[in-house]
Structure formats: C-alpha cells, structure tokens
Amino acid sequence: MNLDLARWQFAITSIYHFLFVPVTIGLAFLVALLQTSWYRNGDETYRRLARFFGALLLINVAIGVVTGLIQEFEFGMNWSAYSRLVGNVFGGPLAMEGLVAFFLESTFLGIWIFGWNRLSKKAHLATIWLVAAGTILSAAFIMAANSWMQHPVGYVINHQTGQPQLNNIWALFTNPVFVWSYIHVLLASLVTGAVIMLAVSAWHMRRKQQVEAFRRSAMISLAVLLPAVILALFVGSELGVVEATYQPMKIAAAEAQWNTCDSHCSFSAFQIGGGNNDHTPTQIIEIPSLLSILATNSPNGKVEGLTQLNAQYQKEYGPGNYIPNVFIQYWSMRVMAYLATLVFVFALWGGWLLYRKRMDQAKWFLRIAPWVVILPFFINTAGWMLAENGRQPWIVQGLMKTANGVSPSVSATDIWISLVIFVLIFLVLGVADTWLMLRYGRRELGHDPLAKLVSPGGDAGPSSTEHESSDEDESALVY
Amino acid sequence: MTLGDLWFIVDVLFWVGFFVLEGFDFGVGMLHSFLGRSDSERRVLVNTIGPVWDGNEVWLIVAGAVIFAAFPGWYATMFSTFYLALVVLLLALMLRGLSFEYQRKIDDPRWRSTWRWSLTIGSALIPLLAGVALGDLLHGLPIDKAHQFTGSFFTLLTPFGLWSGVTMLVLSLLMGATYLSLKTTGELRERAQKAAAAIGVVAVVVTFGFMTWIHVGLSNGFVPKPIEALGLIAVIAAAWLASVKAEGWAFVAAAVGIGATVGSIFQELFPRVMISTTNAAYTLTVNNTASPPYTLKVMTVVAVIFFPIVLIYQAWGYHIFRKRLAVPRVGGDDVAEKSPEVPAET
C-alpha cells in the first residue's frame, strides 16, 4: 500500500514537473536567440519578441521551479531507504546541480527580468544566455543522476555494508545511457519550446496581427524545430539500442516481445489486447526486421524475450517477477514515436511553406499549428513513462528494488494527505498556468509600456525631480 | 578535522546563508501587506526583493542537497521524519514563489489578493517551519536503532523547536524591516523604520529566551558560547540601531544576529546531526551518516571551484540593484494597474 501510494505520488509529481521543464529549457534558448538578433541588428521587433516570449517563459519557469522543489524533497520524504543506500552516489549530481546550475539560472533570471534598462545591452544579453546555460547544465546533472538508476556505473560495493559507493565520478558523465538520454531530453526540450513559439506565431499570423513580426519568430522557431525533431528521432532510436544493451527488459516490454527472436524481428504498429497476462495479442501491421533494426541497428539483430530475460534475472537475482508493466511500455513507446513523427511532418510542412514564402496565406497550416502545441507534452510524458516504467521492478537497475526503497517510517495516511494536497494544488496551478499562457500568448505584441512610463509626457507633465527618479520607478514596477 | 566535519561546516554555511538572505525576503514578504497601504506601495515593497529572492532561495535547495550528498543517512531520516511538515513547507514555497510572478498577471482584485496573501502567509510559514525543524534536530526526537523516526506529526512540535521557529520568524521580520528602511524612500521608509524599531524589542526578548534555552536549558552551563553571545549582542545592537534609524548598520547587525542564531543550533549539535531521545546511542552523527571519503572529496573540489563564483555573481546582482525604490508618481500606477502589459513585457 505504502509502496503503491509513494509510486503514484512520485509518478504524478515528476510527470507534472516535466510538463514545465522542457518549456523552460526550450524557451530560454529561443528567447536568448531572439534577444541576440536584437543585439546584432538593433531591430526593435526582436526586442519586443524577446520580451513577449520571455513573459511566456517566466510564467512557466515559476511552476517548473516550485514543482522541482517537491522532487528534491521527495527522495528523502518517500524514498528514504533508497536515499540512505545510494545518496553518496545519487546525491552528488543533485548537490552539484544546485551549486553549479540552479544558482546560475535563478540568480541571472532575476537580473535579466529587472535589468532591461539597468544593464548595458551586451551585459543584459549575457544574462539570458547564462539563464539558458543554467537550464541546460541543470538537466545534465539531473540526467546523470537518473541515468545512474538506469545503468549504474562508477561505484564499488562495500563488502562490509553491502552499500554501493561512488569511486569514479566521471563514469556518471560518460555513461552511455546518460550521453544519449541527455541529448535526447535537450532535443525534446527544444522541440517543445519551438512548437510553442511556432504555435503562438501562427495564431497571430492567421489573425493578421503584426504578421511581419510573428513571421520572424515563426522562422526562428522552425529553424530550431526542424533540425531538433529530426535529431531527436535519430538520437531516440540510438538510445533504444543503448537501452537494449543495458536494460534489455525495457525494450522487450516496449515491443511486448515475450519470446526471444533471433533475427529479422518484426515491429508491430498496433496491437489489440496485450499486457502482462496476455502473451498473444493480435498484432496489426507488422513491419519485418524493423524491431531488430531499432534494438540493435542491424536487421539480423537478436531481440531477447521477456520470458527468457525473466528466467535469466531469476537465476541472477533470486526469485521474483522482473517484467515491467508491458501495456504501459508498449503504448508509451508508440505514443512517443508516432506523435513525434507527426511533429516532424508538421515541421517539414512549415519549412516548405517558409521556403516558398507562403506561410502567411497557408490557412490550414496556421489553423492547425496552435493545436500542435499539445503534442510535445504527450511525447515528453510518454518518453519518461517508457524510461521509468521500463526500469521496474528496480529503483536502481540490478542494485535495489523499488519496493525496498520506500520510507519505513512514513505511514499510508501521511502519503494520502500529501498526495491529495499535491494533486489539488497541481490542478489549480495547471488551470492558472494554462489560462495565463493562453492569455499572454494571444496578447498583442505591444510597445514597451515601461518605456512610456519613464519618458516625459502625458497629462501630469512630470517635473524634473520626477524625471530624475524615473530610473527607480521602472524597477519598482517590474513585478 | 575529517572531511565529514568539513562538510558539516559547509552545510551550516548554506543554512546560515539561507536564513540571512531569505530572512529579509521573508520579512519583506510578511511586512508588505501591512506596511504598504495601497496596491502600488505594496508593489514597490515586493520589488525591493524582486531581482534577488529567486537566487536567495537556492541556498535552501543547496543546503538540502548538500545533506543528501554528504550525509545521506541524515537526509533520509530528517526528510522522512518531518514528512507532513515538509508538505506544508513545500506548499508555502510553491505559493510564495508563484505569487511574485503571477500576482500582477491578471487585473482582478480577488486574483491579486489571493496571491498577496499567499506571499504574506507563505513568507511567515517558511522560516517558522524551517526553524522548528532545526530546533527539533537539537531538542531530539524519538529515533530508533535503525535511525527511523517513531513518533507522529505532533511529536515534532517540541517546545524548543517551536521557540526556534518563532525566533526565526521574528528575526526574519527584523531583517525585512531594516532591509525595507534601506531600500525605500519617503513615507514607506518611515513606516519601515518604525516597524523595525518595534520588532527590535520583540526580537531582543525572543532571542534572549532562545539563547538561554539553547545554552542553559539544553547543555547545563551559564557561560554562553561565543557564537551565542554574538547572536544576542547582534540582535540587541540591531534593535538599538533600528531605533536610532541607523538603517545600514541595523541591517548588518540583524543579519549577524540571525546567522549566529542558526549557527548556535549547529554548534550545540556538533558532532551530532539529529538527536535521538529514545537512546543516546541511536543519535545520528557526522560520522555515522557521512558519505564515504571519495564522494566528499569530489564535492570538495566542486565546491572550491564553484562556490566563490556563485558568491561573486550574487554579489554583482546586489550591486546592480543597490538603489532605493520610490513609489512612482508619474501616473505610472494607472498604466501599471490597468494594463496587464507591464508585468507581461518582462
């Protein structure tokens, strides 16, 4: 009971957290690009675009940060046995994340928000790039920690205590699972940010609002989106091969492959039925050899089956069931891959329209684009479900089972209380955030009201003393 | 000194840094509702900490993460022990953090007052709860041989823990009021000065009680340790300086006061990190919870390189926004309050 509740809570809080993280990483980078364009050619349009999309970034950062706090606390609150055993390895990257990345991101975000007229153009541009760098670095440490759970490296087992102890920190950052999944996450984040920017731009273009300006943001977002989505598909497929090597169970479950297939294994596009109790689902549209290619990069590749892997694990780790939830694996893999392909097609379409200079008139593209915004969120969530569900029943692959990681002193009542509180607050914040995003995304790309405020004029006819203090007034009204 | 001892000190530095830096943020958060009489005044008060509060809060994150990496056993016991209190703390951190960004986003009185009170109440709850938790570490809690907490939520409300919480709350208020006297002009500044003088009196009483309790009450001796004497003297000095309107020095003294108060808890605690009232043998210590030397060495290298860099850029941030803020008189208020464009453009 405690285990299930703690798992539900972790799943809900981490999935919710990761709705906002890729938006932050992606938009921080894109806003930095917009501001760089302004810095380079002095065109005010880019400055307004940077501030416009900067507002959307900030609405998201706020929730991303506060939901991230829950994540850090939860390891100790709900998974204290896990933290006690592997904190000396897993805690390291988390502490580094705070010291190296989160300080950077948070400090410079504050300076960026308030520094528009206080800093030189160059220094202010540097602050947004430092924010973007902070988000990208932050992801590196978190992914290094997560990848260690998927494929533990750089440790030795202490023979007296049986505890895994860190003995090579570099191994955590050269871990193949880390390298590929980190790049994958960064690309997915760029896709998310770029799709949002494109969607907002298309919405305005369709309404003929400031078409000139929003065509530019559409161009920049497509310039990021198209390569990012193509690379994400390739890197994702390579990540599949890496995972098939270190976590064969994860891939076998993602294909509902119950029995080992020696070569030319086929990939099913869909299936009816399936799951842990149905080993013979009806598979629809089987593509020959594709599974072998996805799992091993070769059409002759062997894909081990769940039944055989389970028997092998039982020999290695003792009796038990080592098969993750096959239904979740099979479908999260497909939701991720199919929707990502849709985004790719959409990006190609947009790229072609831009190339032919016909985006302004492309009614259907502009009409569909705002709706595409929901796809990355499903893709990202499905990707994490694939990664985390596929690791079960392990909390650290081969070292500790999830069932043994839970806090012994925390009661089911405690977890119920926190779970209900978190879910309620998430619902409220989710509604508030969506509403604000829609409202601020549809806003006109206005002139800068702060600039109006500090310049003389208007009915009041400001005196010279007021004009002197105008510098202060601006900072006084940012929040 | 072992590496474990060193990391205990590093962690204390992060806790002290958190209470010093976020102390005035919490103070401003609590006071803005009462010192600001109009919406634009409250807005100015919040903006005095606008550029810096986010970076300051990271000190708490790092203080927690350092315990995780350097003392996994302490982290595991502490965070699972304070479970429900931490849920409330997280809620307060969330609502307060969001209120900065969200309050001005919608021009609706109910929306605004919801976020305004989120900021006010959240800013009170965080130092209170964090203070109770630190006080509990020293007071001791029922912890068994396996380092598992055996009490309930109400066990956490120890008298000393509660007093520590109140002390942190009052010292945060004192810091906030002296900070606001430093960062505002005109009538707001006068009100902040008055508040600082009044809070100073309460702070002296509360801190005197805290220092007596922590020393005489918990460790049986009458001669206070230097850091305890320093904390009390600093708070007395801050109260006096605030009453004579020496804003800058009052703020410095209040910062030393809250820092030394946090330091006192850890000084009395060391080399223990979390005391067991069940059996002294079950007490968590630096030695029985620290990570192996390799992890601590890696962390030391990272900290030696990056901690000074963090200090430099955070100091730069304070330097950029060092000026006082005045309430705008150009009619900017109307623009600001009626149009959602102002905050949105940032």
- Predicted local distance difference test score (pLDDT) of residue B334: 40
User: Which chain A residue lies closest to B82 (C-alpha atoms)?
Assistant: A77
**For residue B237, with 0-12 CB atoms within 10 Å meaning exposed, 13-18 middle and 19 or more buried, which class applies?**
buried
Reported as a single tens digit per residue, the pLDDT across A434-450 is: 999 998 888 888 655 44
Collect contacts of A118-123 with beta carbons under 8 A, ≥24 apart.
A118/A471, A118/A475, A118/B320, A118/B321, A119/B320, A121/A39, A122/A39
How far CA B301 is from CA of A148, A169, A375, B307, in Å, comes to 21, 12, 42, 10
Token pair listed for A424: 């309620």
CB-nearest partner of A80 from B80, B91, B292 = B80
Angstrom distance (rounded) from CA A163 to CA A82? 11
Residue B84 has pLDDT above 80, yes or no: yes
Q: Is the pLDDT assigned to residue A345 strictly greater than 60?
A: yes
Judge contact between A9 and A17, C-beta under 8 A: no
Residue with tokens 């694996």: A329
Helix or strand or coil: residue A286?
Answer: strand
Q: What is the pLDDT of residue A30?
A: 97
> What residues of chain A lie within 8 A of the CB of B71, using their CB?
87
pLDDT for position B103: 86
* pLDDT at residue A363 in the model: 87
Helices (H), B222-344: 226-243, 247-269, 286-289, 293-320, 332-338, 341-344
Q: Does B58 touch chain A (CB under 8 A)?
A: yes
Q: Which residues pair with B4 in a beta bridge?
A: none
Helix (H, G, I), strand (E, B) or coil at A256: coil
Q: Do A169 and B298 touch (CB under 8 A)?
A: yes
A392-422 pLDDT, tens digit per residue, is 999 999 999 999 999 999 999 999 999 999 9
Q: How far is A258 from chain B (nearest CA, A)?
A: 39
User: Smallest Cβ distance to B47: which of A109, A167, A479?
Assistant: A479
Which residues face B325 on adjacent strands?
Answer: B184
Residue type for position B310: V
Q: What is the pLDDT of residues A227-241, one digit of tens each?
A: 999 999 999 988 988
Delimit the domains of chain A by residue range. 2-246+325-468, 248-323
Q: Phi-psi category of B249—alpha, beta or left, where left has phi over 0 and alpha has psi -120 to 50?
A: alpha
Residue B150, chain A, CB below 8 Å: the answer is yes
Picking from A61, A103, A440, A448 by the largest number of B CB atoms within 10 A of its own CB, the best residue to mutate is A103
| Å between A466 CA and nearest CA of chain B | 7
Q: What is the pLDDT of residues A274-291, one digit of tens each?
A: 777 777 777 778 787 888
Q: Quick check: A267 and A299 in contact, CB under 8 A? A: no
CA distance B100 to B98: 5
A457: confidence class by pLDDT, cuts 50, 70, 90: very low
Min distance A141 CA to chain B CA atoms (Å): 12
Subunit contact B69:A473, Cβ cutoff 8 A: no
Q: Does A128 touch chain B (CB under 8 A)?
A: no
Q: Which of A260-269, B33-42, B226-235 has the lowest mean pLDDT?
A: A260-269
Q: In this complex, is the C-beta atom of B342 within 8 Å of any C-beta atom belonging to chain A?
A: yes
Instruction: Please tell me the predicted confidence (pLDDT) of residue A264.
Output: 80
Nearest to A252 by CA among A302, A289, A299: A302
Please report, for residues A341, A381, A457, B274, the alpha-carbon distance to residue A236 in angstroms, rounded to integers and kept in the order given.
Answer: 12, 14, 57, 45
pLDDT tens profile A148-176: 999 999 999 998 888 999 999 999 999 99
- Residues B27, B176: Cα–Cα separation, whole Å: 4
Reference B192, options B207, B203, B178, B171; nearest CA is B178
Taking only the tens place, the pLDDT of each residue in B158-195 is 999 999 999 999 999 999 999 999 999 889 999 999 99
> Which helix (H) or strand (E) element contains residue A142?
helix A121-150
Quick one: pLDDT at residue B220? 63
State the DSSP string of A324-351: --HHHHHHHHHHHHHHHHHHHHHHHHHH
Q: Decide if B231 contacts B254 (C-beta within 8 A).
A: no
A473 versus A189: the higher-pLDDT residue is A189
Which of B46, B83, B295 is the closest to A77 by Cβ? B83
Which percentage of chain A shows pLDDT scores above 70? 93
pLDDT band at B39 (very low <50, low <70, confident <90, very high): confident
Task: Please answer yes or no on whether A106 and B320 come within 8 Å at the CB atom.
Answer: no
Structure tokens at A270: 């869909």
Nearest chain B residue (CA) to A476: B44
pLDDT band (50, 70, 90) for residue B107: confident
Q: pLDDT of B190-232, one tens digit each?
A: 999 999 999 999 999 999 999 989 887 776 677 788 898 899 9
Residue type, B228: E
Amino acid at A439: R
Tell me the C-alpha distance between A409 and B344, whole Å: 45
**Nearest chain B residue (CA) to A433:** B102
Closest CA to A238 of A181, A281, A154, A282: A181
> Are the C-beta atoms of A59 and B101 separated by less than 8 Å?
yes
What is the C-alpha separation between A349 and A365, in angstroms, rounded? 8
Is the model's pLDDT at B331 over the cut of 60?
Answer: no
Cβ–Cβ below 8 Å for B295 and A473: no
Region B90-118: what's the mean pLDDT? 89
Which residues are bridge partners to A396 per DSSP?
A400
Across the interface, of A66, A78, A119, the residue whose CB is closest to B97 is: A66
| Contact between chains at B105 and A59 (C-beta distance less than 8 A) | yes
Among partner residues B55, B78, B342, which is closest to A106 by beta-carbon distance? B55
A vs B, Cβ pairs < 8 A, gives 303
CB of B69 within 8 Å of any CB in chain A? yes
Q: Which two tokens stand for residue A392?
A: 């079960």
Tokens 């929901």 -> residue: A374
Residue of B170, B89, B175, B176 lying closest to B133 (CA atoms): B89
**In the prediction, which pLDDT does A445 show?**
82
Asked if B300 has any chain A CB less than 8 Å from its own CB, the reply is no
**DSSP-derived secondary structure letter, A359:** G
Distance, in angstroms, between B302 CA and closest chain A CA? 7
DSSP symbols for A211-254: HHHHHHHHHHHHHHHHHHHHHHHHHHHHHHHHHHHH-HHHHHHH
Cβ contacts (< 8 Å) between B76 and chain A: which residues? 76, 80-81, 83-84, 87, 407
| Percentage of chain A modeled with pLDDT above 90 | 65
Q: Cα–Cα distance between A156 and A159 in angstroms, integer?
A: 9
Average pLDDT, chain A: 88
Of the candidates A81, A165, A478, the beta carbon closest to that of B346 is on A478
Residue A447, pLDDT score: 52
| pLDDT at A382 > cutoff 90 | yes
| Residues B302, B304, B306, B308, Cα dihedral to 10° | 170
* Tokens of residue A304, six digits: 């081990």
- Compute the C-alpha angle A294/A296/A301, nearest 5°: 110
Cα–Cα dist B46/A379, whole Å: 38
Residues of chain B neighbouring A110 (CB-CB closer than 8 A): 50-55, 317
Cβ–Cβ gap A59/B101 under 8 Å: yes
Q: Are A127 and A39 in contact (CB under 8 A)?
A: no
Q: Residue A306 in contact with residue A252, Cβ under 8 Å?
A: yes
Hey, which residues does B276 pair with through a beta bridge?
B141
Distance, in Å, from the CA atom of A249 to the CA atom of B96, rounded to the nearest integer, reads 43
> How many CB atoms neighbour CB A43 within 10 A?
13
Round to whole Å and give the CA distance between A181 and A250: 14
Cβ–Cβ gap A439/B54 under 8 Å = no
Q: Which two tokens stand for residue A48?
A: 């307004």
Quick one: which H or E segment has residue A394? strand A394-396
**CA nearest neighbour of A17 among A343, A429, A324:** A429
Give me chain B's average pLDDT, please. 89
Q: Which residue has the tokens 């991230």?
A: A68
How many CB atoms are located within 10 Å of the residue B216 CB? 13
Summarize the confidence of residues B99-123 as an average pLDDT.
89
Q: Does A165 sit within 8 Å of B292, measured CB to CB?
A: yes
What is the distance between the alpha carbons of residues A343 and A195, in angstroms, rounded to a whole number?
9
Structure token pair of residue B37: 């009489």
Residues of chain A positioned with their CB less than 8 A from the CB of B315:
none
Residue A18 above 90 pLDDT?
yes
Chosen from B74, B81, B99, B101 to mutate, greatest number of chain A CBs within 10 A: B101
Q: Which residues pair with A284 in a beta bridge?
A: A270
Single pTM value for the model: 0.90
Chain A from 347 to 386: CB within 8 A of any B CB: none
Over residues A183-215, the pLDDT tens digits come to 999 999 999 999 999 999 999 999 888 888 999
Per-residue pLDDT at A332 = 94
Residue A292 has pLDDT above 90, yes or no: no
Interface test mutation site (partner A, options B43, B147, B294, max chain A beta carbons within 10 A): B294
Alpha carbons A461 and B337: distance in angstroms, whole number = 20
pLDDT for A355 equals: 86
* Alpha-carbon span A452 to A456, nearest angstrom: 8
Residue B274 and residue B271: Cα distance in Å, rounded? 9
